[in-house]
Structure 1
Amino acid sequence: MAMRRTIETRFSELCRLFDIEHTLDRDLAGLQLRMEQIILGS
Protein backbone atom coordinates (compact mmCIF):
# COMPACT_ATOMS: atom_id res chain seq x y z
CA MET A 1 0.00 0.00 0.00
CA ALA A 2 2.83 2.42 0.82
CA MET A 3 4.51 1.73 -2.52
CA ARG A 4 1.30 2.47 -4.41
CA ARG A 5 0.88 5.76 -2.55
CA THR A 6 4.48 6.72 -3.35
CA ILE A 7 4.01 5.95 -7.05
CA GLU A 8 0.75 7.90 -7.21
CA THR A 9 2.31 10.85 -5.40
CA ARG A 10 5.33 10.98 -7.70
CA PHE A 11 3.15 10.63 -10.80
CA SER A 12 0.90 13.42 -9.58
CA GLU A 13 3.92 15.67 -8.98
CA LEU A 14 5.20 15.02 -12.50
CA CYS A 15 1.77 15.76 -13.98
CA ARG A 16 1.65 19.04 -12.12
CA LEU A 17 5.26 19.93 -12.99
CA PHE A 18 4.79 19.37 -16.74
CA ASP A 19 1.14 20.57 -16.79
CA ILE A 20 0.03 17.23 -18.20
CA GLU A 21 -3.31 17.39 -16.37
CA HIS A 22 -4.70 19.93 -18.84
CA THR A 23 -3.55 18.69 -22.24
CA LEU A 24 -7.09 18.27 -23.64
CA ASP A 25 -5.97 15.30 -25.74
CA ARG A 26 -8.71 12.94 -26.88
CA ASP A 27 -6.78 9.70 -27.37
CA LEU A 28 -3.72 7.88 -26.10
CA ALA A 29 -1.59 8.75 -29.14
CA GLY A 30 -2.36 12.45 -28.70
CA LEU A 31 -1.49 12.29 -25.01
CA GLN A 32 1.78 10.51 -25.79
CA LEU A 33 2.68 13.11 -28.41
CA ARG A 34 1.90 15.96 -26.01
CA MET A 35 4.00 14.38 -23.25
CA GLU A 36 6.93 13.96 -25.65
CA GLN A 37 6.65 17.61 -26.67
CA ILE A 38 6.61 18.74 -23.05
CA ILE A 39 9.55 16.58 -22.02
CA LEU A 40 11.66 17.37 -25.08
CA GLY A 41 10.86 21.07 -24.87
CA SER A 42 9.32 21.43 -28.33
Structure 2
Amino acid sequence: MDPISIEILKVIGEYSFNGSKITPYKIMKILNFYQIFLYKSIKN
Protein backbone atom coordinates (compact mmCIF):
# COMPACT_ATOMS: atom_id res chain seq x y z
CA MET A 1 0.00 0.00 0.00
CA ASP A 2 1.24 3.47 -0.75
CA PRO A 3 1.75 6.01 2.09
CA ILE A 4 -1.23 8.15 1.03
CA SER A 5 -3.62 5.18 1.34
CA ILE A 6 -2.29 4.42 4.81
CA GLU A 7 -2.86 8.03 5.95
CA ILE A 8 -6.40 8.03 4.52
CA LEU A 9 -7.24 4.77 6.32
CA LYS A 10 -5.93 6.22 9.61
CA VAL A 11 -8.21 9.25 9.25
CA ILE A 12 -11.22 7.06 8.38
CA GLY A 13 -10.46 4.88 11.40
CA GLU A 14 -10.32 7.87 13.77
CA TYR A 15 -13.56 9.35 12.46
CA SER A 16 -15.51 6.08 12.47
CA PHE A 17 -14.28 5.43 16.02
CA ASN A 18 -15.74 8.80 17.07
CA GLY A 19 -18.99 7.95 15.27
CA SER A 20 -19.02 10.96 12.96
CA LYS A 21 -19.57 10.79 9.23
CA ILE A 22 -16.52 11.11 6.97
CA THR A 23 -16.60 12.33 3.40
CA PRO A 24 -13.83 12.24 0.79
CA TYR A 25 -13.69 16.05 0.95
CA LYS A 26 -13.16 15.97 4.74
CA ILE A 27 -10.35 13.43 4.32
CA MET A 28 -8.60 15.58 1.73
CA LYS A 29 -9.05 18.71 3.85
CA ILE A 30 -7.66 17.04 6.99
CA LEU A 31 -4.63 15.66 5.14
CA ASN A 32 -4.19 18.74 2.91
CA PHE A 33 -4.41 16.54 -0.19
CA TYR A 34 -7.00 18.61 -2.04
CA GLN A 35 -4.48 20.43 -4.26
CA ILE A 36 -2.53 17.22 -4.95
CA PHE A 37 -5.76 15.40 -5.84
CA LEU A 38 -6.83 18.13 -8.25
CA TYR A 39 -3.38 18.17 -9.85
CA LYS A 40 -3.45 14.39 -10.38
CA SER A 41 -6.98 14.56 -11.82
CA ILE A 42 -6.00 17.25 -14.30
CA LYS A 43 -2.70 15.55 -15.13
CA ASN A 44 -4.39 12.23 -15.96
Quick check: TM above 0.5?
Answer: no
Calculate the TM-score normalised by the size of structure 1: 0.44
Larger radius of gyration, structure 1 or 2? 1
Calculate the TM-score normalised by the size of structure 2: 0.42
